[in-house]
Amino acid sequence: MRKTLLSLPLLLVLAACQNETQILHTTTVSYDTSYKPAVFTDSLRLQKIKKALPVIDSLYKRHAINNHFPGMAYGIVVDGQLIHTGAYGYTDIKKKIPVTAASLFRIASMSKSFTAMAILKLRDEGKLSLDDPAEKYIPELQQQQYPTADAPRITIRHLLTHSAGFPEDNPWGDRQLADTDQEFMEFLRKRISFSNPPGIAYEYSNLGYALLGKIITNVSGIRYQDYIRENIWQPLGMQHTEYEYSNVAPEKLAHGYRWLNETWNEEELLHDMPDGSWGAMGSMICSVEEFARYMALHLNAWPPNNTADTAPVKRSSVREMHQPWRFSGFNPEYRYPNGRKCAAAFAYGYGLRWMQDCDQRVYISHSGGLPGFGSQWQILPDYGIGIVAFANRTYAPFGNINLVALDTLIKLANLQPRQLPAADILEKRKQELVNLLPHWENATASGLFAENFFADNPIDSLKKYTREAFTKAGNIVSISPMRAENQLRGSFMLNGEHSDIEIYFTLSPENPPLIQAFGIWERPKR
């Protein structure tokens, strides 16, 4: 999950160019049973998180008051479990119905990741490809007039990543929820106005996700609402989640409000049309309790492992949603809401936003905003934690406060990301290297090194700078554990009397893997 910020643009280009693999039900995968997934090393992390919760509660209460929220609910998920919820205010101001974790809020664009997940599930079932032209499933798109003669046809992947060339359509898209399928098709037949040719730029598009909803309906043979209900909600136990507000029990439904002229003004709730497609971009109605089940699905996709995959959507497909498929920005001056400066890169995955900061933290998130409602959720897969928050005020902001809350939890609980145990082959090569150093006796004949190694590292040079490092370090008194970067790369320390020696090496893709790259550095005592 972790990548350096400096290599991000290259990684994004490479990722976008990769051909997807269609996974059919008959596919079997041969795998290495010795693979060691990353693990948390602090057995007290949950207790430490719980100890910090009163601070988090005070942050959200103050946020609700300062932003004039009629009502608010939030929840914290750790290691796939909802460990804490908070609530403030009312779902219905007139009736004074208190908000609870079971209250149902319209979550707006947080709906998009469910639409994306449904598309990936259909892909996994072999019913479509992400690089299929969208017009294959929506014939009305065949008549579109593209901006340039060399423009590519819009693909499903373009729609998933907001790169179809459509203009950013907030707040216009908010008011389309109640459009029927007939109205949507008529809109398409009149042709879409493009801001860019497809495939060259990120621009947030509600229209793109409405088209994905139509594709789900046409490919599955049932309404996209029903496909998502049957294939995602029900397996996760999301029994009260809805698209249409009239299906929600009145005592559970949050009414939406706009803060205007120092008072709350109730917003009209928009219907989700049974034969419409716009709800795929933002119509879902959900509670903190049930959305936490969906968050658990995302958190439990990490780390990759060999356990049985029993989720309604494959873990690998969920992780695919989290990847930075379309670069959207880099801010070298980015600051956390508390003022901490930390450069950050931003991208869009499939129905989800991606951010990586200067500390290599990766955040997966999405916000939602509609007349009467605002919401946001964020997870840190490497830390196993996430937060979701809803409010019934127009475009209620949660992005900053959720960042503050997660940052606060990490600091107060001294949370560390999962650590990758060293693979057996790394440990084996480490010991073999230790036995060779510092003299490199018979190294060229040892069979430990890849074909390129001594061509890139002449043995005389290796002996010279290794001897220098050992001379400065003095007697080696201990050897530190292996620090794995991945299954085939890592480092360790030789702890000397006067200074330490860091050894770094990378193994080749051969079987068995051999040492292809090596580094040695003197490190001062800390």
Q: Count how many domains the chain has.
A: 1
| Token digits of residue 493 | 């320390």
C-beta separation of 169 from 206 below 8 A? yes
Asked whether residue 331 is domain-assigned, the answer is no
Largest CA distance in the chain: 85
Q: Where are the beta strands (DSSP E) in 271-426?
A: 285-286, 326-331, 344-348, 353-357, 362-370, 373-380, 385-391
- pLDDT band of residue 309 (cuts 50, 70, 90) is very high
With 80 as the cut, is the pLDDT of residue 6 above it?
no
Per-position DSSP letters for 127-147, written without gaps between them: S--TTSBGGGT-GGGGG---S
With 90 as the cut, is the pLDDT of residue 425 above it?
yes
- Taking CA atoms, 379 is separated from 116, 117, 194, 232, in Å, by 17, 17, 33, 19
What is the tens place of the pLDDT at every residue in 124-157?
Answer: 999 999 999 999 999 999 999 999 999 999 999 9
Mean pLDDT of the chain: 94
C-beta separation of 161 from 116 below 8 A? no
CA 86/CA 398 separation, integer angstroms: 14
Which residues, listed in sequence order, are joined to residue 78 by a DSSP beta bridge?
81, 385
CA 230/CA 193 separation, integer angstroms: 35
What is the tens place of the pLDDT at every residue in 29-55?
Answer: 788 888 999 999 999 999 999 999 999
pLDDT of amino acid 16 = 45
CA 298/CA 293 separation, integer angstroms: 9
pTM higher than the cut 0.85 = yes
Question: Bigger pLDDT: 10 or 110?
Answer: 110
pLDDT of amino acid 17 = 43
- CB count within 10 Å of CB 330 equals 15
CA 39/CA 420 separation, integer angstroms: 6
Which residues, listed in sequence order, are joined to residue 72 by a DSSP beta bridge?
88, 391
Averaged pLDDT, 252-259: 98
CA 143/CA 140 separation, integer angstroms: 6
Asked whether residue 480 is domain-assigned, the answer is yes
Q: What is the residue whose two structure tokens read 């990548």?
A: 3
Averaged pLDDT, 209-236: 98
CA 179/CA 182 separation, integer angstroms: 8
- pLDDT band of residue 5 (cuts 50, 70, 90) is very low
Averaged pLDDT, 54-68: 98
Asked whether residue 225 is domain-assigned, the answer is no
- Element containing residue 257 per DSSP (H, E): strand 257-260
With 50 as the cut, is the pLDDT of residue 354 above it?
yes
Asked whether residue 477 is domain-assigned, the answer is yes
Amino acid residing at 262:
E
With 90 as the cut, is the pLDDT of residue 340 above it?
no
CA 438/CA 436 separation, integer angstroms: 6
pLDDT of amino acid 9 = 41
Asked whether residue 498 is domain-assigned, the answer is yes
Residue 454 maps to which CATH number? Answer: 3.10.450
pLDDT of amino acid 337 = 81
Domain assignment of residue 484, given as a range: 424-524
CA 311/CA 300 separation, integer angstroms: 9
CA 326/CA 82 separation, integer angstroms: 31
Averaged pLDDT, 379-383: 98
What is the tens place of the pLDDT at every residue in 258-276?
Answer: 999 999 999 999 899 999 9
Q: From 124, 171, 87, select the one nearest 395 (Cα to Cα).
A: 171
Packed helices 399-412 and 45-66: angle between N→C axes, nearest 10 degrees: 150
pLDDT of amino acid 336 = 85
pLDDT of amino acid 2 = 37
CA 376/CA 386 separation, integer angstroms: 11
Proportion of the chain above pLDDT 70, given as a percent: 95
Question: Bigger pLDDT: 336 or 60?
Answer: 60
CA 220/CA 127 separation, integer angstroms: 8
What is the tens place of the pLDDT at every residue in 11-22?
Answer: 444 444 444 444
For the chain, helix (H) and strand (E) counts, in that order, are: 15, 18
With 70 as the cut, is the pLDDT of residue 525 above it?
yes
What is the tens place of the pLDDT at every residue in 178-189?
Answer: 899 999 999 999
Q: From 238, 181, 237, select the one nearest 210 (Cα to Cα).
A: 181
Asked whether residue 37 is domain-assigned, the answer is no
DSSP helix/strand/coil, 299 = helix
- pLDDT band of residue 27 (cuts 50, 70, 90) is low
Asked whether residue 101 is domain-assigned, the answer is no
Asked whether residue 221 is domain-assigned, the answer is no
pLDDT of amino acid 232 = 98
